[in-house]
Amino acid sequence: MASRTSLVSTRESGSHEMSAPAMMASRSSQSQSDARMFDNASNISIRDTQLVNVGGDYVTYQLGNFFDTPMDKLRRKAVLEATHESSTVAYAPRCKAGTRKTILGEMVGWISGTNRSSLCVRQRMLWLSGPAGGGKTCIQRELVDRCEELGILAASYFFSTRLARLDESAPFVATIALQLCSSIPDIQSLVVAEIEHDPGIFDKPLEYQLERLICHPLTLLNRWSMRRPWKFSLDSRWYRIVRPRNPNMKVIIVDGIDECKNPQEQVRIIRLFASAIEKRRLPFRVAIAGRPEYEIRSAFDDKGIKSMVRRIRLEDHGCDADIEDYLIDSLFDIRTKHPSSSNLPLDWPSRDQIKLVATKASGQFIYASTFLTFINNPRRDLREMFALAINFPISPGESMVNPFLTLDALYTVIMESTDVDPSLLKQLVHGLMVMSSAKPTSTSLLDKFYCLNGGTTHTVFCDLHSIIDVPPHKSRAMHFHHKSLQDYLQSPVRSGRFHQPLVETHQEILRLCAYHLLGWSSLDHAKRRSGVVFDYASDVWVAHVVYLLENDPEALLAIDELDLASLPETNLKYVCLEKSTWSDEMAHINFCVEDKLKLRAAFHETVCSRKETCYPLCHALLRTCDIVHSFEKLGLNPGLFHCDGKYGNPYRSLTGRMKGLRRIDELLSVPQTEWESVLEPQLHVRLSIHESIPS
């Protein structure tokens, strides 16, 4: 029988029967029939078909997109949902009109090249960094709109963990290349040629894809196109002469690079652009937004990249006023559309209530947005929902609805992303929260206070820069970016395994205060020095005792009573030796006598009243305050402790300090039954500086 060839469309109905021998034979002869199917054919374009090759007794079925055009392949490898033209872009949050003016103005100025200094010309990459929930994506979407208006948008890519494939790097280059085919039409034929030349290009490394699909076509276009502003080679002297004075380069905008799930891929993408720009292969500006996570910070701080990057820190641009305006407009819309709007007071919510929400947001647009989403419920009382959200308790009941689920999920994801010991992470985060409320707390202070190796806190917090401000210098103070993080950490329901009761944190810190002050006191006199750890323990231990006394006296009494009693005594010795100015008046100020007397009264009433005798801490507080009240009368001349112009040389100061400490030890060791007699003026043996210090 003569050979026959037929094409049967998949859209046709009906069945096709084939004998078992023919089916078995078709497998063995498939490669031969494939080769003969379109021998000597040309200019064939077949799509969405089922091919049936019949030759003699052999039948071969071929299913698939075997005749895609190169652009079809490119579209299939790209992810349109990651671009500014995605189907979900209409629902994406945007900047409210009139907000973010300063930061957008700075970014547009960078794009348009209004500053022509050599540094700004070299800075072809921009990094918009900022805390989690600060509104970086909204700003990037607004920047996309501005670039479209100016006709300089080349492409965009929005990484996201919320949609499939948007947290992967594999489709990144293909998606950018597809958009360039639209924004720079002349490049399409060159991209098509590259795909035709190498059909497997999409299975190769991103570096190769960027070079072949973007950089190489642009280079050819720079040389050949007579319709482009970059028609001369970017490296040529002639181009530098004739180019416009302020050329508006096209811009590639990348958002959420921290949401690319592999940190190594985040770094890879940054280096891709930096390398292409440095080699003059990419005539674009690139604006990247992302949280300041460790890998991203390290990539942008790389010696070869840092000089070409303009960094804009979101936290440097206050947005409280923008958040307040956003709340006012949104609340007006919500109350207008609410079924009970006619029954709401005209002045609700008050300006003070709105300011309170803005303060709680502390620059965090996601907080304000989550707050508004929660109260915008037409089936619930608007004022009740507002009150619940603004006064949401730290420990809500099981039946209470959490207004901040979205925010909590964000914090949980960030905390879980750290690859460190969870117990150490919890200890340091809660320690920072409590300690920084009393004194500025640096990484160096946390390391030393918790008896850790230097640099441990920097290491533990390296992935938390989006929620904690961690300065690079070890002596600069850290702080939480947002007040809402503190609320999250204090709530066991919201933070789960990252929660630690405040009582436990204060108890641990108080134990360490006693440990450090006792350690200082036991040192050889010549080795005693002031330091941030001793300063903190000396200045703040009272606050921790007060907290435990007011919230859980049993937790306070669980600490060794001798350690507690040592606190006021070692505190007195420390301030005597380490505070630079002494007199009766300064003794009161340095030792904070009034605070300790209030503490003693509260402790005595709350704790000592339960038993017949006072606790050692009660006696120690009273004794040290008595000593400070009668500082000079008890033989503690200021000159014993500090050397100044009036009182001689360092030897004299050292001798005096030793004499003064011995006198304090004598006074502290006087039995309680004899203490009243020691305080009598006629029993004092005053030590003058000239009598006690040898010349």
pLDDT tens profile 76-118:
999 999 999 988 777 777 887 778 888 999 999 898 876 555 4
Q: Which two tokens stand for residue 447?
A: 């390391």
Q: Tell me if 678 sits within 8 A of 694, measured CB to CB.
A: no
The H or E element that residue 59 is part of is strand 58-63
Decide: helix, strand or coil at residue 16.
Answer: coil
List Cα–Cα distances, 664 to 327, 568, 668, in angstroms. 60, 12, 6
Please give the pLDDT value at position 231.
44
**What does the domain layout of the chain look like in residue ranges?**
6-63, 72-316, 339-391, 407-500, 505-692
Q: Rounded to an integer, what distance in angstroms lies between the CA atom of residue 92 and that of residue 175?
A: 20
List Cα–Cα distances, 210 to 197, 200, 349, 429, in angstroms. 15, 14, 53, 41
Q: What is the CA radius of gyration of the chain?
A: 36
Q: Which of 187, 167, 165, 164 is nearest to 177 (CA)?
A: 187
> What's the mean pLDDT in 444-466?
94
Instruction: Return the CATH number of the domain spanning residue range 72-316.
Output: 3.40.50.300
Question: For tokens 């209470």, what's the residue?
Answer: 400
List Cα–Cα distances, 106 to 110, 142, 152, in angstroms. 6, 13, 17
Please give the pLDDT value at position 586.
56
Q: Which two tokens stand for residue 92?
A: 């994406």
Decide: helix, strand or coil at residue 1.
Answer: coil
List Cα–Cα distances, 435 to 446, 454, 461, 545, in angstroms. 9, 18, 16, 13
> What's the mean pLDDT in 33-49?
54
What stretches of 502-592 show up as alpha helix (H) in DSSP?
Answer: 502-522, 532-551, 553-557, 561-578, 584-591
- pLDDT, tens only, 655-694: 767 777 888 888 888 888 888 877 765 343 333 333 333 3
Q: Tell me if 308 sits within 8 A of 148, measured CB to CB.
A: no
Secondary structure string (H, E, C) spanning 205-244: CHHHHHHHHHHHHHHHHHHHCCCCCCCCCCCCHHHHHHCC
pTM of the model as a whole: 0.73
pLDDT band at 51 (very low <50, low <70, confident <90, very high): low
